[in-house]
A and B are shown apart, each in its own frame.
Chain A
Amino acid sequence: MDAMAHTDQISMPGSAPLTEANEVKIAARGVDVFYGKNHAIKNVDVDIEDKTVTAFIGPSGCGKSTFLRCLNRMNDTIDIARVEGDILLDGEDIYDKRVDPVQLRARVGMVFQKPNPFPKSIYDNVAYGPRIHGLTRNKAELDDIVEASLRRAALWDEAKDRLKESGTGMSGGQQQRLCIARAVATQPEVLLMDEPCSALDPIATAQIEELIDELRQNFCVVIVTHSMQQAARVSQKTAFFHLGEMVEYGDTEKIFNSPEDKRTESYITGRIG
């Protein structure tokens, strides 16, 4: 954080001009999350827009990943986690009894903080989602999806000659891009990315940011990041979390240039976190 002690060292958004207001894709109202007695998310309200990149920033342990996992009910897999409040996807409560979390996760894909490729071949990793959801009619179509997904994740050139090799045999950064390709291949409406670039070099990071920008044309993308520059470069909306609360949410430009809350300003200028 030393390198960016001052706001004026951060390149400001400009490359990603705001379009006119988009539809709200996900609306959260009064969301609380508890891990046993630990109150990890406190009364969060947020409207995440479609065809927009929304960035979650905040110090480590403030609940960014936790909130992200609420959006596709991945917290269901943690026994001690309890979610309260309403989260609406296209106006439908995703915690409603009638909603099948499995269907939901096919619509709201996720890339995890730590790369977690399956111990299968690279090809099978990417083809996993399309296969279980029956997205293709034949092998040729599947091949096309795999290739397109790997290209979008900037991994095709490195992977095309070793599609049959195990995904766990790749480098950390390659594994993370493989996980991105895997999530993209399922063709979700919303893509949640938890620090997707934390293991990547600057070149791969630039490629992933390009991908995120491209995904924005059709999808709703939510990204957690510790890099202020990255949040500024790729996102149109930014939410700042601190100690389980969502302190401030608004246009990225506004958050970085004239934050309303003192805590946001301190964090962005590198004084807390």
Chain B
Amino acid sequence: MSFGTLILAVIVIAAGAFFLSRRKVLGLADGDRRRLHSLPHYHGMHALLLAAVPALLLLFAWSVLQPVVVDRTAVSHLSGENYDTSGERSLAMSEVRRVADAIDGLIKGGKLNSDDLDGLSIDDLGRRLEETGIPVLADVPPQILDSARTYRSASAAGDLIKIGLVLLLALAGAAYGYSVAHPDLRARNRTEMGVRALLVAAACVAILTTFGIVLSLLFNTIEFFRIYPAHEFFLNLTWSPSFGGGSDLGIIPLLWGTLYISFIALLVAVPLGLFSAIYLAEYAHPKFRSVAKPLLEVLTGIPTIVYGLFALLIVGPALSSVYGRGGLGWMPSDTAVITAGLVMGIMLIPFVSSLSDDVINAVPQSMRDGSYGLGATKSETVRKVIVPAALPGIVGAILLAASRAIGETMIVVLGAGAAARMSLNPFEAMTTVTAKIVSQLTGDADFASPEALVAFALGMTLFVVTLGLNIVALAIVRRYREQYE
């Protein structure tokens, strides 16, 4: 019985519990809904939840834990000098799983009777596997084969127990739900509690996952600081990793590049985005607005790699033809801070304008009326009433845009160059924290070396910076919301 069928079976049992319990309470109340504590479907829901939720929870918990336990039993067969380190053992275990899968394939294909398996010699099995064309190591060591056998039997036993227990639990829940079904049962309140628990559980999963990500970042960062001094990381002004060891891993040049490019991006995005938002919200004809606004919002959905290509193939060469060697001679190559900053700014325009437009629209019409009623013109009203009233929200939008700019990767990888440099010249190539995280992890570096682990420290720093920006932005936006309530 596969995972899907098992879930289906639980659902069928739960649905049965629903209908049976509903019929039972209605019967007990002589079909008079008014004599029930809760509406009939709440009584049904109560039994349904009792049948489905514990069984499904068990199913998921079991599915997560079973492989761990099975691996434990199977690995006990692997002893000897070949399997000393955990690395060797895990390599062997993946081989074990492959052999086990291959045997499963043979049995399914009718080429092998599962009863014969125990008596089969290694050579025999190897030949059979070859016949089917399943790629397995030519000569499977006996330990692996033993281990694979154990693996198979343990999995099979586990699956069987799982199916039994889950179905039993579902039936027990259904039976209990049915037995307590009674017109006086406070089914509505209990269902409400059940629903709340489900929602809380869903929220917890989301929060716990995030928490897990942060923790793994944190542990790896701590690991990094154990082998590389923190003050070097935060204060060293050079970034030059060398995989042979003895690298300089100072974050400051990378942060400088990040902030410089983000600054240029905001310099482009904020005025353009804000002005287009003001135009859309205050001046544009409603018909034009109803077309233009969704179009702008579609722009926010363009993958950033597309903007990256745009930077690499169009903006970079165009800038370089004016400011580069052929022109003013300020720009040594196509990739530069200004290239990435401009393109990133273009990417952020719809982001800023869409958020600002929402905020400006939230300013009540009565504010505008008040200003027009005193004989103010449109632009006076915008400047003196609407923008000040919307300012906290606009600042929030800008901060959110800033945190996007700081976290942006593809555009910088393609547009800004790869040199970690600290310079004020926007026509020079620089690089950012995100781009360096990519390049540190895509090389062949040993995963335990400081050159690879530094990626986590960089990520953690980035996380802290953008988190701080987002918190400030959200706090500002929220304060703004309260103002008109």
Residues of A bordering B, CB below 8 Å: 72, 74, 77, 79, 102-107, 109-110, 112, 114, 116-120, 128-129, 132-133, 168, 179, 182-183, 186
Contacts and interface: CB of A to CB of B under 8 A. Distances in A.
Contacts of A116: 364, 366-367, 369-370
A119 B483 contact: yes
Nearest to B374: A129
Contacts of A104: 375
B14 to A, nearest CB: 52
A129 B385 CA distance: 12
A37 B370 CA distance: 27
Nearest to B373: A110
Given A116-B366, A116-B369, A119-B389, A79 B375 contact: no
Given A118-B385, A128-B384, A77 B375 contact: no
A22 to B, nearest CB: 24
B327 interface: no
Interface string B385-417: 100110000000000000000000000000000
A125 B370 CA distance: 10
B325 to A, nearest CB: 53
A104 B384 CA distance: 20
A118 B368 CA distance: 9
Nearest to B390: A119
B446 interface: no
29 contacts: A72-B373, A74-B369, A74-B372, A74-B373, A77-B365, A77-B368, A77-B369, A103-B375, A105-B372, A105-B374, A106-B374, A109-B374, A112-B366, A112-B373, A116-B364, A116-B369, A117-B370, A118-B367, A118-B370, A119-B483, A128-B371, A128-B376, A128-B384, A129-B374, A132-B380, A132-B384, A182-B374, A186-B374, A186-B375
Nearest to A118: B385
Q: Which of B371, B373, B376, B389 has the most CB of A within 10 A?
A: B373
B384 A179 contact: no
A179 B376 contact: no
A114 B366 contact: yes
* Overall SS of chain B's interface: helix
B377 to A, nearest CB: 5
A77 B372 contact: yes
A102 B376 contact: yes
Nearest to B386: A118
Contacts, number: 68
How many B residues touch the partner, as a band?
20 to 34
Contacts of A114: 366
A103 B95 CA distance: 86
B396 to A, nearest CB: 16
A168 B384 CA distance: 16
B374 A128 contact: yes
Interface in B182-211: none
A103 B376 CA distance: 8
B286 to A, nearest CB: 6
Nearest to A104: B375
A112 B370 contact: yes
A81 to B, nearest CB: 13
Contacts of B365: 77
Contacts of A79: 286
A223 to B, nearest CB: 15
Interface string B331-366: 000000000000000000000000000000000111
Contacts of A132: 374-376, 380, 384
Nearest to A133: B375
Nearest to B363: A119
Nearest to B286: A79
Contacts of B389: 118-119
Q: Which of A112, A117, A132, A179 has the most CB of B within 10 A?
A: A132
Interface in B262-302: 286
A103 B374 CA distance: 9
Contacts of B364: 116
Q: Which of B366, B375, B384, B483 has the most CB of A within 10 A?
A: B375
B366 A102 contact: no
| Top 4 A-B pairs, shortest CB-CB distance | A106-B375, A116-B366, A110-B373, A105-B375
Contacts of A179: 370
A194 to B, nearest CB: 10
A179 B377 CA distance: 19
B271 to A, nearest CB: 23
